[in-house]
Amino acid sequence: MSARHRMPCRVAMLAALALANLAAPVAQSEESSRGIPDLVADPLLTRPPVLDAGAVLPGDEAPIACPARVDFTQALSLTDAVDTALCADPQAMAAWANIKLQAATVGEARAAYLPTLSVSLGRQNSDTRYPSFSSSNSNVTGNSSYVALNWRLFDFGERAANRASARDLLAAAMASYDAALQKTLGATVQAYFDAVTARAAYRARTRTAQLAGETLAAAQRRELNGVTGRSDTLQAQTALARAQLAELRAAGDRDKTRATLVYTLGLPAGTSIVLPQNSALPLKQDIADLAEWLDVAEARHPAIKAAKAQWEAAREKITSVRSQGLPTVDFGVNFYQNGYPNQSLSAVHSNTTVVGVTLSIPLFEGFSRTYKVREAQARADQSEAQLHDAQRETLGDVVKAHADAVSSLASLDASATLLESAKAALVSSRNRYEHGAADILETLNAQSALADAEQERIRSEADWRAARLRLMAAAGVLGQQAILNIDVPASAANSAVMRRPDQ
């Protein structure tokens, strides 16, 4: 093979080597992978910044840091619980991986605008025998090469529609990840306050059992002194047994809610967690009207944003499918040395260059294109219905959460008044009983009323704390900052969060 004949092949090989050198150093993927590594990790710049900077919750400045650094030997705060849950939630992990998947799809759509280049090198031995004319036998050994450059110059919107659809699906993936975070936040807040409430209820039941024991001791003293009969002691014993039974049930609820919290945080079963001993008095805040919360959820909730983006992507897909049945214009350059691919080696050295523009016009596909378009239209209708369903479900959650928040706010003062009255009534009744001015039934009734009042107060405080955060999660605007401010005196900014949910 002469130097002149080898020149095109060498040029192609040198071009490939140069491309490899420009791509060095070889980019490493985030996870170990098998096979040949990529020369360039993201040559078309499709990777969204959130994958490198990290996700940021609404109202926060710093991104979510994983893995969460939490010391479980100390009292578990709500912020630590949220950090742990966000880093361990499998749905959030799957949504994060889906962002990478859709970013790769965007890259495929952008790559359709670029030319393709391929090189084929081969060495062949062509042995031809003619039994009747042995003088015509031939045996040729040589090299062959093939270089092809193809570039689509024009279509009727197929690539543009595919690129727009991929971009919408990437936006939907990022919104779906945010929606998964909001869902995890809501579940974690609920599980945390359920555990805190159950623990407080158990402590209240323990105090009730202690009071019942003190009442029984007072009844026994009065019986020994001959002031009262055996019936007072028996009734006090019954009240103590009832209080102890309620204490045991409260202990069971405490253990169950704590196990649920451990499961929600994604921790191994049996992990020991410590809940705070005392919590600050709940901060009362005004709540914006339901219409404002609904407007905010409609505009900002990531689940609705994701459904809208998926609908837009489905509509773009209709254009793409229609365009596939329209003409296309392609430019091609092919170089053949010593024959053509999949053919015998040429006996004479040859160089063949083919340059051309191809117009492809699909004439008839057996009506398959019609039904592909119908399929794309049906998928778009399906996506639109899913959007309406997401809107209805999300707004319905906002309505429920808003009603819970309003109700829990109204019950705060009532439960506080009830508790103070019950405490005063029990003190008065016990004093009256000690001095013989009241019977045992009055004391036991006051004791039972105090136990119920304590339970109502505990439930009211926990419901108000959880309802505020759950409302923000339902509207899609809950962040770490709102959690930190839950029991901190309201600043102007914090008050605005509850009064103006759109800020």
What are the φ/ψ torsions at residue 349 (nearest 5 degrees)?
Answer: -60, 135
Higher pLDDT, 382 or 35: 382
pLDDT mean over 456-469: 87
3-state secondary structure of 148: strand
* CA 242/CA 2 separation, integer angstroms: 105
Segment holding 304, helix H or strand E:
helix 302-323
Residue 10 CA to chain centroid, in angstroms?
51
Q: Which domains does the chain have, with CATH numbers?
A: 42-48+68-114+155-326+362-499 (1.20.1600.10)
pLDDT digits (tens, 9 = 90+) for 347-369: 778 888 999 999 999 998 889 99
Tokens of 350: 């040859």
Q: Which residues are paired to 143 by β-bridges?
A: 123
* pLDDT at res. 343: 77
How does DSSP classify residue 69?
Answer: -
Residue 230 CA to chain centroid, in angstroms?
64
pLDDT digits (tens, 9 = 90+) for 31-88: 445 666 667 788 888 999 999 888 888 888 888 888 888 888 898 988 899 999 999 9
User: What letter represents residue 447's amino acid?
Assistant: Q
* CA 202/CA 187 separation, integer angstroms: 22
Residue 498 CA to chain centroid, in angstroms?
24
* CA 325/CA 318 separation, integer angstroms: 12
**Beta strand 138-154 pairing with 328-337:** antiparallel
User: What letter represents residue 67's amino acid?
Assistant: P
Tokens of 19: 């491309």
Task: Give the Å distances, CA to CA, from 405 to 54, 288, 289, 305, 323.
Answer: 31, 10, 11, 25, 52
H helices of 225-301, where? 230-264, 290-300
Check pLDDT > 90 for residue 387.
yes
Segment holding 121, helix H or strand E:
strand 116-128
| Nearest alpha-carbon partner for 145 in 30, 286, 11 | 11
* pLDDT at res. 3: 43
Tokens of 148: 């092809």
pLDDT digits (tens, 9 = 90+) for 256-289: 999 999 999 999 988 889 988 766 666 677 788 9
* CA 363/CA 80 separation, integer angstroms: 64
Residue 29 CA to chain centroid, in angstroms?
23
* CA 336/CA 340 separation, integer angstroms: 6
pTM: 0.80
* pLDDT at res. 279: 63
Residue 338 · residue 349 · CB < 8 Å: yes
The residues, any chain, with a CB within 8 Å of residue 2's CB and separated by 6 or more, are 349
Tokens of 126: 């062509």
* pLDDT at res. 36: 63
Cis peptide before 63 (omega within 30 of 0): no
The residues, any chain, with a CB within 8 Å of residue 501's CB and separated by 6 or more, are 288, 292, 293, 296, 472, 475, 477
